[in-house]
């Protein structure tokens, strides 16, 4: 559609994020958007059912206190250190507007969550992409080197594990980064942390410039409900609350609030399903390697893999013909990789069987 005289200037400059495809066909093996192969805890449906009925006519609690309290208890932080949003994408948007817009450009990896540059466009935040490492060894290639972030900046943000690489930065590295960068906010986007990483939440009390974001969409299996949060110093959280309360007073609906509380309180289910995903990931990575793929060491619920003899776009198209969807990014440096979500064991087997045929 052509530009329109009624648009604000900013609109013509926007280059919106394109999410992974949400196909409406049945029976697809959907390994493209890093959803959890296991459903949410059964306690979620029970909690939501109990909230149905007359109370839907009433506004939710604008602060969603019961959910903040449940998160605070779960992560052993204070309620004043928790900020909630309608998905971690909304939380991140408020962070870009409220905490990352300064004189200096913000820093993030050149290969990372592709929503970051989109937020920069929306809020007119300058940014400087910092290249991931280049190394012939698959284990050392495409890594975040914290030394590269030792330069003037208006803030630093990266996913840990990084997406779409799946590579994890150690807590020691994050602590070093925080020590050498005390004058701007460091945001650690932990969408995938529960699949084998160590959370930086435990550093929050010691670093007033650290903000950690997490989501209920991955390890809590509630992508359909849209709940994300940030944990950090109360001063940072206050900025986010001010932005949120100037944007949308009630972003979390009643059902999302009670569903998320149920999910975070069912620790056994959470631990069991994360463990199953981790086990499947390791099997999947091994089987891909036995087919000749190079697989980056992943601590997420997906793997990032390339084959020395087969073009990734062709493999992706071939899988699609067999009803299997994976993610392929048409970007320099990673255009020979496939990002494959860890599915149920039999979905992973279908993928491996299809790939075997395609490689023949």
In the region spanning residues 74 to 103, those forming contacts with its own copies, defined by CB under 8 A, are 86-87, 89-90, 93, 97-102
# of chain residues touching its own copies (CB under 8 A): 91
Range 307-314, long-range pairs (CB < 8 A, 24+ positions) = 307/336, 307/359, 309/359, 310/358, 310/359, 311/336, 312/336, 312/337, 312/338
Closest by CA position to 212, among listed 323, 334, 83: 83
> For residues 65 and 76, which CB has a smaller minimum distance to its own copies in the complex?
65
- Tell me how far, at minimum, the Cβ of 131 lies from its own copies, in Å: 25
- The footprint of its own copies on residues 280-319 (CB under 8 A) is none
- The footprint of its own copies on residues 114-173 (CB under 8 A) is 115, 118-119, 121-122
> For residues 196 and 259, which CB has a smaller minimum distance to its own copies in the complex?
259
285's CB contacts (< 8 A; 6+ apart) are: 295, 298, 303, 305
Task: Supply 201's token pair.
Answer: 């939440």
Mask for 241-280, x = binds its own copies (CB under 8 A): xxx-xxxxxxxxxxxx--x---------------------
Burial 194-211 (b: 16+ CB within 10 A, else e): bbbbbbbbebbeebebbb
d(CA 160, CA 110): 14
Applying CB under 8 A, the span of 29-37, 145-153, 314-322, 328-336 interacting with its own copies comes to 29-37
Does the footprint of its own copies cover residue 185 (CB under 8 A)? yes
Helix (H, G, I), strand (E, B) or coil at 339: strand
- The footprint of its own copies on residues 213-242 (CB under 8 A) is 217, 221-226, 234-236, 238-239, 241-242
> For residues 233 and 287, which CB has a smaller minimum distance to its own copies in the complex?
233
Q: What is the CA radius of gyration of the chain?
A: 21
Among residues 31, 35, 281, 355, which is the contact residue for its own copies, using CB under 8 A?
35
- Tell me how far, at minimum, the Cβ of 225 lies from its own copies, in Å: 5
d(CA 315, CA 360): 12
């Amino acid at each position: 559609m052509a530009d329109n005289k009624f648009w604000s200037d900013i609109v013509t400059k926007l280059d919106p994020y394109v999410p992974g495809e949400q196909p409406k066909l049945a029976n697809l093996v959907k390994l493209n958007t890093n959803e959890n192969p296991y459903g949410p805890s059964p306690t979620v449906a029970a909690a939501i059912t109990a909230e149905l009925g007359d109370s839907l006519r009433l506004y939710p609690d604008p602060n969603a206190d019961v959910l903040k309290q449940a998160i605070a208890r779960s992560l052993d932080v204070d309620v004043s250190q928790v900020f909630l949003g309608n998905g971690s994408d909304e939380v991140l948007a408020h962070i870009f507007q409220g905490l990352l817009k300064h004189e200096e450009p913000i820093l993030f990896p050149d290969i990372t969550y592709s929503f970051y540059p989109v937020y920069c466009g929306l809020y007119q935040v300058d940014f400087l992409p910092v290249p991931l490492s280049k190394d012939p060894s698959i284990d050392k290639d495409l890594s975040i080197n914290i030394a590269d972030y030792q330069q003037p900046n208006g803030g630093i943000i990266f996913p840990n594990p990084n997406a779409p690489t799946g590579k994890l930065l150690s807590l020691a590295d994050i602590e070093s980064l925080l020590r050498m960068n005390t004058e701007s906010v460091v945001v650690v986007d932990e969408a995938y942390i529960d699949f084998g990483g160590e959370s930086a939440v435990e550093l929050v009390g010691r670093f007033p410039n650290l903000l950690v974001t997490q989501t209920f969409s991955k390890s809590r299996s509630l992508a359909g409900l849209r709940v994300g949060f940030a944990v950090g110093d109360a001063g940072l959280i206050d900025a986010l609350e001010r932005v949120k309360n100037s944007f949308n007073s009630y972003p979390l609906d009643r059902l999302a609030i009670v569903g998320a509380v149920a999910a975070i309180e069912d620790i056994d289910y959470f631990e069991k399903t994360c463990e199953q995903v981790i086990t499947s990931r390791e099997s999947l990575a091994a089987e891909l390697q036995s087919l000749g793929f190079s697989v980056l060491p992943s601590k997420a619920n997906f793997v990032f893999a390339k084959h020395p003899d087969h073009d990734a776009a062709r493999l992706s198209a071939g899988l699609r013909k067999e009803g299997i969807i994976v993610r392929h990014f048409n970007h320099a440096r990673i255009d020979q990789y496939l990002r494959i979500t860890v599915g149920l064991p039999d979905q992973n087997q279908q993928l491996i069987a299809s790939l075997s045929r395609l490689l023949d």
